[in-house]
Copies of this chain bind each other. A is one copy, B any other.
Amino acid sequence: MKNEIKIFSPATVANVACGFDVLGFCLDTIGDEMVIRKTEEKGIRITKIEGYDLPYEAEENVAGVSALAMYNELNPDCGFEIEIYKNIKPGSGIGSSSASAAGSVYGMNELLGRPLDKTKLTFYAMKGEALASQCEHADNLAPAIFGGFTLVKNACPLQVLELPTPSDLYATLIHPQIEIKTSESRAILPKEIPLQNAITQWANVGSLVHGLHTSDYKLIKDALNDVVIEPYRKQLIPHFDDVKNTVLEAGALGCAISGSGPSIFALSKGENTAKKVEQAMHNVYSKSNIHFETYVSKINTQGIKTL
Protein backbone atom coordinates (compact mmCIF):
# COMPACT_ATOMS: atom_id res chain seq x y z
CA MET A 1 0.00 0.00 0.00
CA LYS A 2 1.24 3.47 -0.88
CA ASN A 3 2.38 5.84 1.85
CA GLU A 4 1.78 9.04 -0.10
CA ILE A 5 -0.61 10.22 -2.79
CA LYS A 6 -1.11 13.37 -4.75
CA ILE A 7 -4.70 14.26 -5.57
CA PHE A 8 -6.74 16.72 -7.61
CA SER A 9 -9.67 18.15 -5.64
CA PRO A 10 -12.03 19.93 -8.00
CA ALA A 11 -14.01 23.13 -7.82
CA THR A 12 -17.79 22.70 -7.91
CA VAL A 13 -20.95 24.66 -8.65
CA ALA A 14 -23.73 24.48 -6.06
CA ASN A 15 -27.45 25.28 -6.50
CA VAL A 16 -27.41 25.03 -10.33
CA ALA A 17 -30.05 27.74 -10.84
CA CYS A 18 -33.26 26.02 -9.70
CA GLY A 19 -31.83 23.67 -7.06
CA PHE A 20 -30.91 25.94 -4.17
CA ASP A 21 -29.28 23.97 -1.34
CA VAL A 22 -29.67 20.59 -3.08
CA LEU A 23 -28.11 20.45 -6.57
CA GLY A 24 -24.47 20.70 -7.60
CA PHE A 25 -22.02 19.69 -10.32
CA CYS A 26 -18.29 19.09 -10.55
CA LEU A 27 -15.69 20.97 -12.63
CA ASP A 28 -12.70 19.58 -14.43
CA THR A 29 -10.23 22.35 -15.15
CA ILE A 30 -10.19 24.17 -11.80
CA GLY A 31 -9.18 22.60 -8.54
CA ASP A 32 -6.61 22.27 -5.78
CA GLU A 33 -3.83 19.76 -5.53
CA MET A 34 -3.04 18.11 -2.26
CA VAL A 35 -0.46 15.61 -1.05
CA ILE A 36 -1.47 13.28 1.77
CA ARG A 37 1.27 11.27 3.47
CA LYS A 38 1.17 8.54 6.11
CA THR A 39 3.42 9.19 9.11
CA GLU A 40 4.53 7.01 12.00
CA GLU A 41 3.74 9.85 14.37
CA LYS A 42 0.04 9.81 15.12
CA GLY A 43 -2.24 12.78 14.52
CA ILE A 44 -2.99 15.19 11.66
CA ARG A 45 -0.43 17.81 10.61
CA ILE A 46 -0.69 20.37 7.84
CA THR A 47 2.88 20.78 6.65
CA LYS A 48 2.61 22.98 3.60
CA ILE A 49 0.11 25.50 2.18
CA GLU A 50 0.73 27.29 -1.09
CA GLY A 51 -1.47 29.67 -3.05
CA TYR A 52 -3.45 31.33 -0.28
CA ASP A 53 -2.75 32.27 3.30
CA LEU A 54 -4.61 29.72 5.40
CA PRO A 55 -4.11 28.47 8.97
CA TYR A 56 -1.68 25.58 9.61
CA GLU A 57 -3.38 24.47 12.84
CA ALA A 58 -5.45 21.41 11.89
CA GLU A 59 -8.33 22.51 14.15
CA GLU A 60 -8.56 25.84 12.29
CA ASN A 61 -8.18 24.58 8.73
CA VAL A 62 -11.15 23.01 6.90
CA ALA A 63 -8.94 20.23 5.48
CA GLY A 64 -7.62 19.62 8.98
CA VAL A 65 -11.04 19.60 10.64
CA SER A 66 -12.50 17.06 8.20
CA ALA A 67 -9.32 14.97 8.48
CA LEU A 68 -9.52 15.03 12.28
CA ALA A 69 -13.21 14.03 12.28
CA MET A 70 -12.42 10.98 10.17
CA TYR A 71 -9.13 10.24 11.96
CA ASN A 72 -10.67 10.31 15.44
CA GLU A 73 -13.41 7.92 14.38
CA LEU A 74 -11.20 5.42 12.50
CA ASN A 75 -8.29 5.74 14.95
CA PRO A 76 -5.68 4.21 12.61
CA ASP A 77 -2.21 3.23 13.91
CA CYS A 78 -0.52 5.99 11.90
CA GLY A 79 -0.76 9.73 11.42
CA PHE A 80 -1.10 11.94 8.31
CA GLU A 81 0.66 14.95 6.86
CA ILE A 82 -1.28 17.18 4.49
CA GLU A 83 0.15 19.53 1.88
CA ILE A 84 -2.28 21.93 0.22
CA TYR A 85 -1.59 23.59 -3.14
CA LYS A 86 -4.55 25.91 -3.32
CA ASN A 87 -5.74 27.19 -6.69
CA ILE A 88 -9.38 27.92 -5.84
CA LYS A 89 -9.60 31.30 -4.18
CA PRO A 90 -11.49 31.20 -0.88
CA GLY A 91 -14.85 32.99 -1.17
CA SER A 92 -15.12 32.60 -4.93
CA GLY A 93 -18.40 30.65 -4.83
CA ILE A 94 -17.00 27.56 -6.54
CA GLY A 95 -16.45 25.36 -3.54
CA SER A 96 -12.99 26.35 -2.33
CA SER A 97 -13.49 25.12 1.23
CA SER A 98 -15.24 21.97 -0.04
CA ALA A 99 -12.24 21.07 -2.19
CA SER A 100 -9.99 21.30 0.86
CA ALA A 101 -12.40 19.46 3.16
CA ALA A 102 -12.98 16.68 0.64
CA GLY A 103 -9.34 16.33 -0.39
CA SER A 104 -7.92 15.37 2.99
CA VAL A 105 -10.53 12.67 3.73
CA TYR A 106 -10.38 11.28 0.19
CA GLY A 107 -6.58 11.01 0.39
CA MET A 108 -6.57 9.40 3.84
CA ASN A 109 -9.21 6.91 2.74
CA GLU A 110 -7.10 5.91 -0.27
CA LEU A 111 -3.99 5.44 1.89
CA LEU A 112 -5.95 3.33 4.39
CA GLY A 113 -7.27 0.97 1.66
CA ARG A 114 -10.69 2.60 1.20
CA PRO A 115 -12.48 1.59 4.38
CA LEU A 116 -15.16 4.28 3.75
CA ASP A 117 -17.69 4.80 0.96
CA LYS A 118 -18.31 8.15 -0.72
CA THR A 119 -21.30 9.04 1.45
CA LYS A 120 -19.23 8.51 4.58
CA LEU A 121 -16.38 10.61 3.13
CA THR A 122 -18.89 13.38 2.43
CA PHE A 123 -20.14 13.08 5.99
CA TYR A 124 -16.65 13.72 7.43
CA ALA A 125 -15.92 16.45 4.88
CA MET A 126 -19.07 18.25 6.10
CA LYS A 127 -17.34 18.74 9.46
CA GLY A 128 -14.63 20.74 7.70
CA GLU A 129 -17.14 22.62 5.57
CA ALA A 130 -18.95 23.67 8.75
CA LEU A 131 -15.80 25.51 9.89
CA ALA A 132 -15.95 27.69 6.76
CA SER A 133 -19.67 28.30 6.49
CA GLN A 134 -21.02 27.82 10.01
CA CYS A 135 -23.35 25.08 8.82
CA GLU A 136 -22.96 21.50 7.68
CA HIS A 137 -24.00 21.32 4.09
CA ALA A 138 -22.98 19.04 1.25
CA ASP A 139 -24.09 20.79 -1.95
CA ASN A 140 -20.46 21.45 -2.97
CA LEU A 141 -18.95 18.41 -1.26
CA ALA A 142 -21.22 15.86 -2.91
CA PRO A 143 -20.27 16.79 -6.51
CA ALA A 144 -16.57 17.07 -5.49
CA ILE A 145 -16.57 13.54 -4.04
CA PHE A 146 -19.11 11.77 -6.33
CA GLY A 147 -18.43 13.73 -9.55
CA GLY A 148 -21.04 14.76 -12.13
CA PHE A 149 -24.38 16.18 -11.02
CA THR A 150 -25.58 15.40 -7.52
CA LEU A 151 -28.72 15.99 -5.53
CA VAL A 152 -28.41 16.13 -1.75
CA LYS A 153 -31.79 14.74 -0.73
CA ASN A 154 -31.04 15.08 2.97
CA ALA A 155 -28.15 16.53 4.94
CA CYS A 156 -28.98 14.56 8.09
CA PRO A 157 -28.96 11.64 7.67
CA LEU A 158 -26.88 12.33 4.58
CA GLN A 159 -28.43 11.03 1.36
CA VAL A 160 -26.70 11.87 -1.94
CA LEU A 161 -28.17 11.00 -5.35
CA GLU A 162 -25.90 10.68 -8.37
CA LEU A 163 -27.64 12.16 -11.41
CA PRO A 164 -26.56 11.35 -14.98
CA THR A 165 -24.42 13.82 -16.95
CA PRO A 166 -25.20 14.34 -20.65
CA SER A 167 -21.94 13.86 -22.53
CA ASP A 168 -21.92 17.17 -24.37
CA LEU A 169 -22.50 19.48 -21.43
CA TYR A 170 -19.88 22.16 -20.67
CA ALA A 171 -19.65 24.80 -17.97
CA THR A 172 -18.30 28.32 -18.32
CA LEU A 173 -17.52 30.40 -15.27
CA ILE A 174 -16.56 33.94 -14.46
CA HIS A 175 -15.14 34.81 -11.09
CA PRO A 176 -15.30 38.54 -10.42
CA GLN A 177 -12.66 39.24 -7.80
CA ILE A 178 -14.95 40.85 -5.27
CA GLU A 179 -15.77 39.61 -1.81
CA ILE A 180 -19.25 38.48 -0.80
CA LYS A 181 -19.50 37.15 2.72
CA THR A 182 -21.48 33.89 2.89
CA SER A 183 -23.22 35.32 5.96
CA GLU A 184 -24.32 38.36 3.92
CA SER A 185 -25.54 36.26 0.99
CA ARG A 186 -27.55 34.14 3.46
CA ALA A 187 -28.94 37.13 5.34
CA ILE A 188 -30.28 38.72 2.16
CA LEU A 189 -32.64 35.77 1.54
CA PRO A 190 -36.27 35.90 2.64
CA LYS A 191 -37.50 33.47 5.30
CA GLU A 192 -40.73 32.97 3.36
CA ILE A 193 -41.37 32.81 -0.38
CA PRO A 194 -44.54 32.95 -2.50
CA LEU A 195 -46.06 29.47 -2.95
CA GLN A 196 -46.36 30.19 -6.67
CA ASN A 197 -42.60 30.73 -7.00
CA ALA A 198 -41.91 27.58 -5.02
CA ILE A 199 -44.11 25.62 -7.47
CA THR A 200 -42.20 27.07 -10.43
CA GLN A 201 -38.93 26.11 -8.75
CA TRP A 202 -39.90 22.49 -8.03
CA ALA A 203 -41.27 22.11 -11.55
CA ASN A 204 -37.83 23.25 -12.72
CA VAL A 205 -35.93 20.90 -10.40
CA GLY A 206 -38.04 17.94 -11.55
CA SER A 207 -37.58 19.01 -15.18
CA LEU A 208 -33.81 19.40 -14.82
CA VAL A 209 -33.48 15.91 -13.30
CA HIS A 210 -35.61 14.51 -16.15
CA GLY A 211 -33.57 16.48 -18.70
CA LEU A 212 -30.30 15.08 -17.33
CA HIS A 213 -31.71 11.54 -17.51
CA THR A 214 -32.91 11.98 -21.08
CA SER A 215 -30.04 14.22 -22.35
CA ASP A 216 -32.77 16.68 -23.39
CA TYR A 217 -30.78 19.90 -23.82
CA LYS A 218 -33.88 21.92 -24.68
CA LEU A 219 -35.49 20.85 -21.42
CA ILE A 220 -32.28 21.50 -19.46
CA LYS A 221 -32.36 25.02 -20.92
CA ASP A 222 -36.00 25.51 -19.91
CA ALA A 223 -35.31 24.23 -16.41
CA LEU A 224 -32.24 26.35 -15.65
CA ASN A 225 -34.17 29.17 -14.06
CA ASP A 226 -34.07 30.44 -10.52
CA VAL A 227 -37.11 32.52 -9.56
CA VAL A 228 -36.48 32.23 -5.81
CA ILE A 229 -32.90 33.09 -4.88
CA GLU A 230 -31.42 34.97 -7.85
CA PRO A 231 -33.65 38.07 -7.56
CA TYR A 232 -32.11 38.69 -4.13
CA ARG A 233 -28.51 37.61 -4.56
CA LYS A 234 -27.88 39.11 -7.97
CA GLN A 235 -27.86 42.54 -6.34
CA LEU A 236 -24.54 41.58 -4.73
CA ILE A 237 -22.92 40.77 -8.09
CA PRO A 238 -22.05 43.67 -10.40
CA HIS A 239 -23.23 43.30 -14.02
CA PHE A 240 -25.07 40.03 -13.29
CA ASP A 241 -28.01 40.78 -15.61
CA ASP A 242 -25.64 41.95 -18.36
CA VAL A 243 -23.62 38.76 -18.13
CA LYS A 244 -26.73 36.59 -18.09
CA ASN A 245 -28.38 38.27 -21.06
CA THR A 246 -25.17 38.29 -23.07
CA VAL A 247 -24.31 34.63 -22.51
CA LEU A 248 -27.87 33.50 -23.29
CA GLU A 249 -27.58 35.41 -26.57
CA ALA A 250 -24.25 33.64 -27.15
CA GLY A 251 -26.07 30.31 -26.96
CA ALA A 252 -25.77 29.20 -23.34
CA LEU A 253 -28.52 26.86 -22.08
CA GLY A 254 -28.70 28.77 -18.81
CA CYS A 255 -26.79 31.11 -16.55
CA ALA A 256 -27.04 31.65 -12.80
CA ILE A 257 -25.09 32.42 -9.64
CA SER A 258 -22.57 29.75 -8.65
CA GLY A 259 -23.21 28.85 -5.01
CA SER A 260 -23.60 32.08 -3.08
CA GLY A 261 -21.51 33.98 -5.63
CA PRO A 262 -19.75 36.10 -6.72
CA SER A 263 -18.91 33.56 -9.46
CA ILE A 264 -21.45 33.18 -12.26
CA PHE A 265 -21.76 29.93 -14.22
CA ALA A 266 -23.32 29.05 -17.54
CA LEU A 267 -24.03 25.62 -19.03
CA SER A 268 -23.76 25.02 -22.77
CA LYS A 269 -24.13 22.19 -25.23
CA GLY A 270 -20.69 21.65 -26.75
CA GLU A 271 -17.28 23.13 -26.07
CA ASN A 272 -17.51 25.64 -28.91
CA THR A 273 -20.57 27.30 -27.45
CA ALA A 274 -19.00 27.20 -23.98
CA LYS A 275 -16.01 29.13 -25.40
CA LYS A 276 -18.27 31.69 -27.08
CA VAL A 277 -19.97 32.10 -23.73
CA GLU A 278 -16.59 32.68 -22.09
CA GLN A 279 -15.87 35.42 -24.62
CA ALA A 280 -19.28 36.97 -23.91
CA MET A 281 -18.56 37.02 -20.18
CA HIS A 282 -15.17 38.53 -20.92
CA ASN A 283 -16.72 41.27 -23.06
CA VAL A 284 -19.07 42.37 -20.29
CA TYR A 285 -16.53 42.41 -17.46
CA SER A 286 -13.61 43.85 -19.38
CA LYS A 287 -15.59 47.11 -19.57
CA SER A 288 -15.64 47.26 -15.76
CA ASN A 289 -12.70 47.93 -13.46
CA ILE A 290 -13.21 44.66 -11.59
CA HIS A 291 -10.54 41.98 -11.93
CA PHE A 292 -11.94 38.65 -13.06
CA GLU A 293 -11.04 35.16 -14.18
CA THR A 294 -12.98 32.96 -16.61
CA TYR A 295 -12.90 29.20 -17.09
CA VAL A 296 -14.36 26.62 -19.46
CA SER A 297 -14.76 23.09 -18.15
CA LYS A 298 -16.34 19.82 -19.16
CA ILE A 299 -18.53 18.41 -16.40
CA ASN A 300 -16.19 16.24 -14.35
CA THR A 301 -17.98 12.92 -13.91
CA GLN A 302 -15.20 11.35 -11.84
CA GLY A 303 -14.87 13.96 -9.11
CA ILE A 304 -11.83 14.08 -6.89
CA LYS A 305 -9.03 11.85 -8.15
CA THR A 306 -5.54 10.52 -7.54
CA LEU A 307 -2.90 12.06 -9.83
Interface residues of A (CB under 8 A from B): 18-23, 151-154, 159, 161, 163, 189-195, 198-199, 201-210, 213, 219, 222-223, 228
Contact = CB atoms under 8 A, between A and B. Distances in A.
Contacts of A22: 199, 202-203, 206
B195 A228 contact: yes
Contact of A195 (B18, B19, B154, B193): B193
A195 B191 contact: yes
Contact of A19 (B19, B192, B206, B213): B206
A2 to B, nearest CB: 35
Given A153-B222, A201-B202, A222-B153, A210 B209 contact: yes
Given A161-B219, A192-B194, A151 B210 contact: yes
6 contacts: A161-B207, A161-B219, A193-B195, A198-B202, A201-B202, A209-B213
Contacts of A151: 203, 206-207, 210
Contacts of A19: 202, 206
A189 B195 contact: yes
A213 B164 CA distance: 11
Nearest to A193: B195
A190 B195 contact: yes
A236 B264 CA distance: 45
A221 to B, nearest CB: 12
A145 B248 CA distance: 34
A93 to B, nearest CB: 19
A208 B206 contact: yes
A193 B196 CA distance: 10
Contacts of A209: 206, 209-210, 213
A23 B202 CA distance: 10
